[in-house]
Structure 1
Amino acid sequence: MSTDGLSVEAGVRTLLLLMPRMVGRIKRVKVPEQLQSLNLAPRHLSLLAYLLFDGPLGVNELAARLEVAPATVSLMVGDLSRRGVVERREDDADRRRTIVAIAEESRESVDRWLARGARAWRKALEPLTPAERLLFVETLRAYEREVLAEEGEEREG
């Protein structure tokens, strides 16, 4: 690839060819045996990733990060809690607040599940400057927003 960059059209073409391959590889990542029977959705993966990387969090904090309602997180946490994947406890400082953490018996499986992707992203992002990393992440977010906007237009039209 040229060091001068690439045109918007060349970038679009490259990404349209690259993204399906990446998604296909991600879908083939084997879910650890302990978690296979749980039928985890992508939103569960995101919730578990936050808990793995950031440690125990409150339901409202998880909801804000996942950009969903606290009630949605409560349902997800309840489901994962019944299955022994996460644990809920009251916050000692504020009994109205529920803290969620990955259950100790599930930590190794969750870590193994997410580790390959984390290593790959780390290797891809480490050579970039902080500004380049921010640009990359913001570009992916902008793409997601545009796809969602077009999906909304299709439903309306």
Structure 2
Amino acid sequence: MSTPQAGDEGTDGGGADDAVRALLLLMPRMVGRVKKIPPPEALRSFALAPRHLSLLSYLLLDGPLTVNELAARLEVAPTTVSLMVGELSRQGILERREDEADRRRRIVAIAPDQQPAIAGWLAPGAAAWRKALAPLTPEQRRMFVDTLRAYEAAVTGESGTGKSGTGKSGAGGR
């Protein structure tokens, strides 16, 4: 990594190695800070995993969704989402109801009594991302997200278009 390669120079004259060094320092700090954010007291006994946080974030930001909509957003199989929803429903974190337009479908939502705790816990992270991404153009935001997906794929040994997975490869543990 100490030898610059052709094409490593950025527009500021720094090489890709400089950016790698900065990210190798920054990423562990970011992860460490996020891990130190304790879940609210009301949720501490539920042993929520990162995959649950992503699901809860979508429901918090987008409102009630179907299992298939959640599966598409989480890039996992619908059966994986069904298992998570079942687990969180039994714990009283989520609620499922019939879709009035199609009674075969179930709508998933955060349980009303859990909404304030989840919002208080997850909303600051969303606000921080909004603030960090606000100065960027839509194309720059897309590139940033695509870059993080490509990094995730490279770290996990996945190949493809930069997406983190389709859910068909057992990626439900996220």
2:62 aligns to what? Answer: 54
Deviation at 1:5, TM superposition (A): 5.8
Aligned residue identity for 2:120:
R
1:74 aligns to what? Answer: 82
Aligned residue identity for 2:36:
R
State the distance in 1 between where 2:151 and 2:11 align.
Answer: 24
- TM-score w.r.t. the length of structure 1 is 0.90
Q: Evaluate the alpha carbon distance shift between residue 87 and residue 5 of structure 1 in structure 2; reply closer, same or farther with a 3 A threshold.
A: farther
**Structure having the larger proportion of residues in helix:** 1
State the distance in 2 between where 1:5 and 1:68 align.
Answer: 40
2:132 aligns to what? Answer: 124
Following TM superposition, where does structure 1 have runs of at least 4 consecutive aligned residues deviating by more than 3 angstroms?
none
1:6 aligns to what? Answer: 14
Query: Deviation per CA, 1:35-77, whole angstroms, max 9, x where unpaired?
Result: 0000000000000000000111000111111111111111111
State the distance in 1 between where 2:147 and 2:26 align.
Answer: 15
Query: Deviation per CA, 1:111-131, whole angstroms, max 9, x where unpaired?
Result: 011122112111101111111
What is the correspondence of 1:1-150 to structure 2 with a 5 Å cutoff? 4=12, 6-149=14-157
Deviation at 1:149, TM superposition (A): 1.1
State the distance in 2 between where 1:24 and 1:75 align.
Answer: 29
Q: Evaluate the alpha carbon distance shift between residue 5 and residue 83 of structure 1 in structure 2; reply closer, same or farther with a 3 A threshold.
A: farther
Identical amino acids, percent of aligned pairs: 68
- TM-score w.r.t. the length of structure 2 is 0.82
Gaps of 5+ in 2: 1-9, 159-174
State the distance in 1 between where 2:117 and 2:70 align.
Answer: 21
Query: Quick check: 61-70 or 103-112, which moved more?
Result: 61-70
Q: Evaluate the alpha carbon distance shift between residue 128 and residue 83 of structure 1 in structure 2; reply closer, same or farther with a 3 A threshold.
A: same
Deviation at 1:6, TM superposition (A): 3.1
Q: C-alpha root-mean-square deviation of aligned residues, in Å?
A: 1.5
